[in-house]
Amino acid sequence: GQQLNQSPQSMFIQEGEDVSMNCTSSSIFNTWLWYKQDPGEGPVLLIALYKAGELTSNGRLTAQFGITRKDSFLNISASIPSDVGIYFCAGQLAEKLTFGTGTRLTIIP
Amino acid sequence: DAGVTQSPTHLIKTRGQHVTLRCSPISGHKSVSWYQQVLGQGPQFIFQYYEKEERGRGNFPDRFSARQFPNYSSELNVNALLLGDSALYLCASSSQYEQYFGPGTRLTVT
């Protein structure tokens, strides 16, 4: 099935560093969402974006909905150990979410 | 408030068998969606139901079916199981745009 292009595929960072990941698509979406998934659990919604150009923050997380409606990015500032996990972007059109390939974030001691 | 709940947590089936997975949405949510997540990939859309009607279907064979009940809970049925059906099956509920996921059911087909 279709998956959005998400990069980087994995990141190895030290605690306290900032993180940036992005997601691109060949299709236009009405809504972009960012989820975090821990092993063996379901995705947890982090941020939802509804308008092209919109910039939204949730604590240390900031996400933007691209002007073309075909891309989005997520930034995490001052990473902490509980940020470890897999981050997925998802574009929404009507009833369907199309997910990205995921970015695995690892924090190096 | 309780989130999305799914049962069972884990399930092991043999090729050719059928399986029924269950989902209860967040209270007040009328829409339920089902996704399949194969190891190492993002979730893939299977179905969405709203007010007991199918609103959307992903690119899955007819062996996959679902229904929604008057209390908005939902079942996903898979017939004639194949090894490739082994995956985490996720249910999501929504009131408008944002979809909230349950913990999933891990299905292993041997």
Summarize pLDDT for B6-23 with one digit per residue, the tens.
999 999 999 999 999 999
Is the pLDDT assigned to residue B1 strictly greater than 90? Answer: no
Angstroms from B15 CA to nearest CA on chain A:
23
Is the pLDDT assigned to residue A72 strictly greater than 90? Answer: yes
Residue A75 contacts residue A89 (beta carbons within 8 Å): no
In A, minimum Cα distance to B104 occurs at: A42
Confidence of residue A2 (pLDDT cuts 50, 70, 90): confident
Window 36-55 of A: residues touching B by CB (8 A cutoff) are 40-45, 48, 50
Residue of B97 and A11 predicted with greater confidence: A11
Mutation site, A32, A54, A93, A97, interface B, largest B CB count within 10 A: A97
**Mean pLDDT for the stretch of residues A58-86:** 96
Is the pLDDT assigned to residue B32 strictly greater than 90? Answer: yes
Residue of A97 and B96 predicted with greater confidence: A97
Q: What is the CB-side half-sphere exposure of residue B51 using CA atoms within 13 A? A: 1
pLDDT at B8: 97
Adjacency order of strands within the sheet including A61-65: A5-7, A19-24, A71-76, A61-65, A55-58
What residues of B are in contact with residue A42 (Cβ under 8 Å)? 4, 90, 101-104
What residues of A are in contact with residue B99 (Cβ under 8 Å)? 33, 45, 92, 97
Confidence of residue A1 (pLDDT cuts 50, 70, 90): low
Q: Parallel, antiparallel, or unpaired: how do β-strands B74-78 and B99-101 relate? A: unpaired
Instruction: Return all residues near A91 (Cβ < 8 A) that are at least 6 apart.
Output: A4, A23, A25, A27, A29, A31, A32, A33, A72, A97, A98
